[in-house]
A and B are shown apart, each in its own frame.
Chain A
Amino acid sequence: MAPRIGVYVCHCGGNISEVVDIQKVMESLEGPVDVVQIKDHEHICSEVGQKLILNDIKENKLDRVVIAACSPQFQGITFMKTMEHAGLSPYVLEMANIREQCSWPHYDYPQEATKKAIDLTKMSLAKARLDIPLEKKVIPIGKRVLIIGGGIAGIQAALDLGDAGFQVYLVEKDPSIGGKMAQLSKTFPTEDCAACILSPKMADVPNNPNIKLMTSTEVKDISGYIGNYQVTVTRKALYVDPDKCTCCDKCVEACPVTVPNEYDEGLTTRKAIYLPSPIAVPHSYILDDKTCLGLFPLACSKCKEVCEPNAIDYDVYPTEEKFTVDTIIVATGFDIYDARQKRVYGLGKYENVFNALEMERMLAYAGEGKPLKDIGNRIAFIQCVGSRDEQVEHEYCSRVCCMYATKLACLLNRERPGKEIYIFYTDLRAYGKGFEEYYKRAQSEGIKYIRGRVAEILEDPKTKKLTLRAEDTLSRKIIESEFNTVVLSVGLIPNEGTRHVAGLLGLSRSQDGFLKEAHLKFRPVDTLIEGVFLAGTVQGPKDIPDSVAQAGAASSRAISLMNKGVYEAEPITAQIDESICIGCGMCADVCAYKAIEITVVDAHTGKKTAVVNEFLCKGCGTCAATCRSGAADVIGVSDHQISKMIEVM
């Protein structure tokens, strides 16, 4: 039976009709018997317009609708809903974009714009004839969430979801949660002590019955799709039973191995058996099997000998655990830029050059009255180290360095009066709530801000003092001055864990290497993978308030999906013609969503073909474009439809 198509041409209140000759467009479509009606409308997206469509579908028994109006990106959803109201599949609707693609760009050429509008509408008509009334696919969805990364964003998301009654798996690769925030001295602009505001939140995590905390654990594999993600994690061997350990510290005294302490950025040392940090959660000693004198073969065993509760067991091995979740929040955080790559600043070479995180640790100890070293009276901060720097291919602004340098400067200034502190900056960015006020306050406290990039640092080999050379670009003077200590305000960069997880889930990354959100403005915590969300600095540099806010947003997005109990997936997916497919696997290789597998489909002949997981497939069509023999195609946007569209042009 021939389809019954209704065509609507929209004036868009003059936006289209002032350029495109609507009458001509309508006349050009007359003729084919399956075009039951052609109408124009001032605003087809208005309520009146939608009612007109609804009514026509009923009266004229339309089973296809073509709307020549604006971009489907703009009003597509509106009209798809109209189709649903009328009891038709939203996938038998076609839109010809005669506004953004005709009247707007070809404003000065009305005749050509009209011609193009006719072509586009005819193409939509040709496609509509072959449209299939597809239905959305319904996937049941439960209430289990995996959160990868136990920094402040991961912790916040876990608490939000746990409190809302969802089952949370919080996976952290390090022995303690807390992330980078746990290393900070104080936080800008309020100067709250980082550990003081963070540790209660950290402590809440194991106390929440809905959160399963897995520290020293890495995600090994993730497969499946929304509502059915199969997760495999590797849990490292702990060697110390956290339930038995009383944190008596006797093992530490007994341990003969001394190594740099990561928590203090290597400024202090720890033993091979150690407490990760004073605020560690879970609060238990752990044994670092990479530096322990010998587990294989057992060579030392001094810690075990002194352990009274008998909490140490050397005979344990990494284990694998598998579980299923419905949604995933990625909160794998960031790394700091390795400033040793900027050789002119001499980090790692000069004794008194530090990166900002090292200064955070030094100040944390100074706050406790145990300064790690004398940092002298003249201190310089160099901003934008590894940020806004095309030389190191980090063109982005790391957003937090201006304020953390201001904070560190204020803290140093107040720690012992009589200091002279300079901040050499490119542009000062104090955009957040309370930031500008904080910056003003720092200036009033005597911190000197110099606009100019430091060209180089030279160290006096005897005194170890540092001479900085820079141009003050405001006064146009060359500054050459001596300092006791230089702090490099290092930028934030995507870390290895993020790369790993992005690979597992097939998440795309922005040009800066951070994970890419589905839409920068309207879907900032969603990804293009259904049911996977981003929280915190994994999506791009941000400060603590923004990370916490984003964690809340990610939780709420996950909750709104899971609370419905079912998820409706788009039916536009790839399909494979098994009679043509020869199983070469090229489509599986190019699939960004890992939606295709090469599978034996006939056990008797051993025939292998590509098989599409329709829940993972996004209908992007890369497979269809790749397939040499045309076996892969996209339902709803088939090769046949596209060739018919080209034919009528």
Chain B
Amino acid sequence: MDLQTKLRQEARKLLEEKLVDVVIGYEDEGAPLRTTPCFITDPQDVDRLVWNPFCDHNLARYLTARKDKAAVVAKGCDTRAIVVLINENQIERKNVNILGMPCGGIVDRKKIYNHLKNGDVREAVLKDKVITVKGLEFTADLMVDDFLADCCLSCRHRNPVLCDVQIGENLPPLDVKDEYKKIKQLEESTSEERWEYFRKTLSKCIRCYACREACPLCYCQQCFTDQNFPAWVGKTTDISDTIVFHIMRAFHTTGRCVDCGACERSCPNNVDIRMLTKKIAKDVKELFGDEAGLQLEEKAPLSFYNEDDPQDFIK
């Protein structure tokens, strides 16, 4: 039985037995290369649920501020986000039923558009590991693995770290060669080169806040960017404002970011947002040996101190 069928079965059971009020998953609304989050409350609707490499949203986003009991379809990175949310008092463990999906990586459709030189994809059919895309003037067979999102290429947690029901067998760990290749390149470049790179990528930002809205951990009631009293950051798309926004947002993810890549995928302008979050995650891992969202009741690395914490930065 394929994972999608298993998932539907499990969802039906949960709804029929009234173990949950809603199942949050993905459905296919017909747009090629995409799925849409769906909220299923009627057992008869479970066949709307799909599971494929286009299920790219981090559905943990929809768990905060709920009062009902929800089951959620969650990939490895999504379960890590759920763990962080539980640790940060945003969801109660008992109110969430995690349908854990071992995940071989999701497709970054922007990579496909780039590959097709932005050709208008009208239809996409997935069969096994091959996506057949059709436009007005072209047809192409593409391999899923060639178009995986960057974060999936260096993923170390393909299997759920926390779940109530796991759909399917664990996947073997990915042989990640150099998780921080891009970050290391950036670290090794001169400060002028780095600044130029920051300037180039962050100047594309139009302050639409899609990254913030897609991020499961950007759950603040009032984001610092929206505050006027005091106004922490200017609201224009001038580079000085966008850079402050992105750096502050990245700092806010310190020790919390699970590298699900939702921010970057949601960006309409291809801003290299993960460059900042990944760099911070690397620092946290190197300095404190900590990876976010792997354990319940774990304190964020910046929320406590140990006497043997590294302090080489004190000059």
Contacts and interface: CB of A to CB of B under 8 A. Distances in A.
Contact of B88 (A586, A631, A643): A586
Contacts of A630: 222, 224, 227, 230, 232
A590 B220 contact: no
Interface residues of B, number: 21
B252 interface: yes
A628 B257 CA distance: 14
Nearest to A592: B305
Nearest to B231: A643
A585 interface: yes
Contacts of B300: 586, 589
Interface centre among B67, B219, B220, B252 (most CB of A within 10 A): B220
Nearest to B226: A629
Contacts of A642: 230
Contacts of B89: 583-585, 598, 608
Interface string B211-226: 0000000011111100
Interface stretch (A12-20, A560-568, A574-582): A574-582
Contacts of A586: 88, 300, 303
B229 interface: yes
A642 B89 CA distance: 30
Interface centre among B88, B231, B299 (most CB of A within 10 A): B88
A640 B221 contact: no
Contacts of A278: none
Interface string B32-54: 00000000000000000000000
A393 to B, nearest CB: 10
B99 to A, nearest CB: 24
A606 interface: yes
Contact of B221 (A590, A606, A629, A643): A629
A581 B221 contact: yes
Describe B's contact surface by its main secondary structure.
Answer: loop
A640 B89 CA distance: 28
A467 interface: no
A590 B303 contact: yes
B304 interface: yes
B90 interface: yes
A585 B221 contact: no
A112 interface: no
A249 interface: no
Contact of B230 (A584, A585, A606, A643): A643
Contacts of B67: 606
Nearest to A644: B230
Nearest to A643: B230
A582 B230 contact: no
A628 B220 contact: yes
A508 to B, nearest CB: 11
Given A584-B90, A628-B252, A640 B222 contact: no
A500 to B, nearest CB: 15
Interface in A583-625: 583-586, 589-590, 598, 606, 608
Contacts of B304: 589-590
A588 to B, nearest CB: 9
Interface in A521-568: none
A37 interface: no
Contacts of A580: 220-222
A639 B231 CA distance: 10
Given A629-B220, A629-B222, A589 B299 contact: yes
Nearest to B251: A628
A589 B90 contact: no
A640 B229 contact: yes
A644 to B, nearest CB: 8
Interface string B221-254: 1111001011110000000000000000000100
B302 to A, nearest CB: 8
A216 interface: no
A639 B88 contact: no
A583 B86 CA distance: 12
Nearest to A509: B307
Contacts of B223: 629
Nearest to B92: A606
A598 B67 CA distance: 18
Contacts of B302: 590, 626
A582 B221 contact: yes
A582 B88 CA distance: 10
B221 A579 contact: yes
A580 B231 CA distance: 15
Contacts of B220: 580, 582, 628-629
A81 B229 CA distance: 33
Contacts of B299: 589
B254 to A, nearest CB: 10
Contacts of A629: 220-224, 227
Nearest to A588: B303
Interface string B270-301: 00000000000000000000000000000110
A359 to B, nearest CB: 32
A435 to B, nearest CB: 33
A596 to B, nearest CB: 12
A602 to B, nearest CB: 12
B303 A589 contact: yes
B88 A584 contact: yes
Interface in A478-492: none
Contacts of A581: 221
Contacts of B230: 630, 639-640, 642-643
A586 B229 CA distance: 22
B9 to A, nearest CB: 32
Nearest to A642: B230
Contacts of B231: 643
Contacts of A583: 89-90
Interface centre among B90, B224, B230 (most CB of A within 10 A): B230
B84 to A, nearest CB: 10
Contacts of A628: 220, 224, 252
Contacts of B219: 582
Interface string A163-177: 000000000000000
Contact of B90 (A579, A582, A639): A582
B235 to A, nearest CB: 16
A617 B38 CA distance: 45
A580 B304 CA distance: 23
Nearest to B232: A630
Interface in B80-101: 88-90
Nearest to B223: A629
Nearest to A629: B220
B224 A585 contact: no
Interface string A627-640: 01111000000011
Nearest to B305: A590
A105 to B, nearest CB: 20
A582 B299 CA distance: 17
A582 B219 CA distance: 8
Nearest to A598: B89
B258 to A, nearest CB: 15
A580 B219 CA distance: 11
B246 to A, nearest CB: 15
A52 B146 CA distance: 80
29 contacts: A579-B222, A580-B221, A581-B221, A582-B219, A582-B220, A583-B90, A584-B88, A584-B90, A585-B88, A585-B89, A586-B300, A589-B300, A589-B303, A590-B303, A606-B67, A608-B89, A626-B302, A626-B303, A628-B220, A628-B224, A629-B220, A629-B221, A629-B222, A629-B223, A629-B224, A629-B227, A630-B227, A642-B230, A643-B230
The 6 closest A-B pairs by CB, nearest first: A589-B303, A643-B230, A629-B220, A584-B88, A628-B252, A580-B222
Given A580-B221, A590-B304, A630-B232, 8 more contacts: A580-B222, A582-B221, A583-B90, A586-B88, A589-B300, A606-B67, A628-B224, A628-B252
Interface of B: 67, 88-90, 219-224, 227, 229-232, 252, 299-300, 302-304
Interface of A: 579-586, 589-590, 598, 606, 608, 626, 628-631, 639-640, 642-643
